[in-house]
Structure 1
Amino acid sequence: VSGHRRCLSGHRRCLSGHRRCLSGHRRCLSGHRRCLSGHRRCLSGHRRCLSG
C-alpha cells in the first residue's frame, strides 16, 4: 500500500503524513509515531502499528 501505511492487527491504517490510525481512537502521533489507546505502537521507520 503505497502512500498509506498498513497497520497490523485489524483494519487500522496509518495515513501518510498525519500517521493516524483509522477505525478507533488509535492515532499515531507525528514524531513519536505511537498509537494511542492500546498497545499498538508505530515503529519509527517501518511506521507500522504493532499489536502488543
Structure 2
Amino acid sequence: MRSRNTFDYITLFFKGVFMGIADAMPGISGGTIALLLGIYEELIRSISELKLSLF
C-alpha cells in the first residue's frame, strides 16, 4: 500500500460519502458504486483485515 497525502484522504472520504448516499437510495448498490469509483478491492481488503477480537 502506498503512502497517502491529504488530498488522497479527502478524495477517499468523498468517495465513501458518495457510496453511503448510494446505499440509502433504493435500487443502487454501494458495492457497485465502490467498484465504479475504484475503491472496491481496497474496501474488501480493509474489511477482511479487521480484527474481530477487538470488538
- TM-score bracket, normalised by the shorter chain, equals under 0.3
Query: Which of the pair is proportionally richer in helix?
Result: 2
Q: With CA pairs under 8 Å and 6+ residues apart, which has the higher RCO, 1 or 2?
A: 1
In our comparison, the structure showing a higher alpha carbon Rg is 2
Query: Which of the pair is proportionally richer in strand?
Result: 1
Q: Calculate the TM-score normalised by the size of structure 1.
A: 0.26
